[in-house]
Amino acid sequence: MADTIGTGSQAPAMERLGIARLLRAREAGVFFALLVLCIFLSIATDSFLTSQNLLNVGRQISLLGIMAVGMTFVLIAGEVDLSVGSTYAFSGLAAGMLIIAGWALLPALAVGVVTGVVIGLINGILSTYGRLPSLIATLGMLSMVRGAALILTNGRPVTVNTKNGADPDVLQAFTGMGQGYLFGVVPMQLVFFALIAAVAWFVLSYTNFGFRVFAVGGSAKAARVSGIKVNTVKIWAFVLMGALAAFAGILSLAFLPSGQAGRTGIGLELDVIAATIVGGSSLSGGEGTILGTILGVLIIGVMRNGLVLMGVSPFVQELMIGLVIIVAVGIDKWTARKSA
């Protein structure tokens, strides 16, 4: 009888604890904000909830989402990467130039991704063994890689088409990566984003590498004492970021087969960091989830799409994104201070 009463009295408490924990979760807050935003836009506009517009939103957020997944690893590890926009431009344009030069698709794509890997590796080495703050190291790489892209293209636009020398079959396969649809409905860019997000979620949640990323970001000293190679983990996080930024740049050129080094990817790093922080990743390291990042990317994408549908000026859109960054970082710092 006593046991029954005790169990019954504990059950509501446990339920309240679970509900309280759910309400405190950053993902729950971000999801609620996304839900409110969607409800508002569905009332304010007639075309927001149409299947075509929602699929367009999915396509529009895909490249940002792919890079935000990589940034999640970097931020959880306690670092930051400002060079993603330049990597995005350089790798995409490099792959496009190789296709124009007559290369087959896979070798051209491989070289494009490898350039991103190399950039990420350099960022990681400078931030660890070079003992430079990642903010400074990647800021320098931002300018260096952008300059390298301008040198590579001689400042001229790169247009991938048969007139410039691309093989018709290679061009068709290449543009299919960016312009194609799965089953004639789902944009291929969205498919790539979903696959990458799923793999990243598994790696971050169920592998030793994911555990080490959290451990390094939570406390590098404690991780080092536990036998974790802190520098190696951080370098791999930067390498992953570089590879994903490069792949996103390639998909961008596949969707719109023309780009210019001086314009492509300008300011993109701010959107990537904003989406990741809005999703719950902490600038202090040790916190973040792929689900939260996806929700953060959706908030940025839905906000941009909604502002366009409502006829809001692009200048106001930039102001709103900046406001979102400030609010997200403020919430992150306030939450960390309250927990401490």
Instruction: Tell me, rounded to whole angstroms, the distance of Cα 135 from its chain centroid.
Output: 17
Average pLDDT over all residues of the chain: 86
Encoded tokens for 261:
């080094």
Percent of the chain with pLDDT over 70: 89
Residue type (1 letter), 40? F
**Ranges 6-10, 94-98, 231-235, 305-309: which has the least confidence:** 6-10
* Residues contacting 252, CB < 8 A, separation 6+: 63, 88, 92, 178, 259, 264
Does 329 score more than 90 pLDDT?
no
**How many Cβ atoms from other residues are within 10 Å of residue 246's Cβ?**
32
Encoded tokens for 304:
């941009």
Structural domain boundaries in the chain: 29-335
For residue 248, which of 275, 282, 280 has the smallest C-alpha distance? Answer: 275
Does 95 score more than 90 pLDDT?
yes
The model's pLDDT over 258-290, given as tens digits with 9 standing for 90+, comes to 888 888 888 888 889 988 988 888 888 888 899
Looking at residue 164, the DSSP 8-state letter turns out to be G
Annotation: CATH topology of 29-335: ABC transporter involved in vitamin B12 uptake, BtuC (1.10.3470)
Binned at pLDDT 50, 70 and 90, residue 79 comes out as very high
Give pLDDT, residue 311.
81
The model's pLDDT over 110-127, given as tens digits with 9 standing for 90+, comes to 999 999 999 999 999 999
Give the residue-averaged pLDDT of 33-61.
Answer: 87
pTM reported for the whole predicted model: 0.88
The model's pLDDT over 135-155, given as tens digits with 9 standing for 90+, comes to 999 999 999 999 999 999 998
Residue predicted with more confidence, 329 or 282: 282
SS3 1: coil
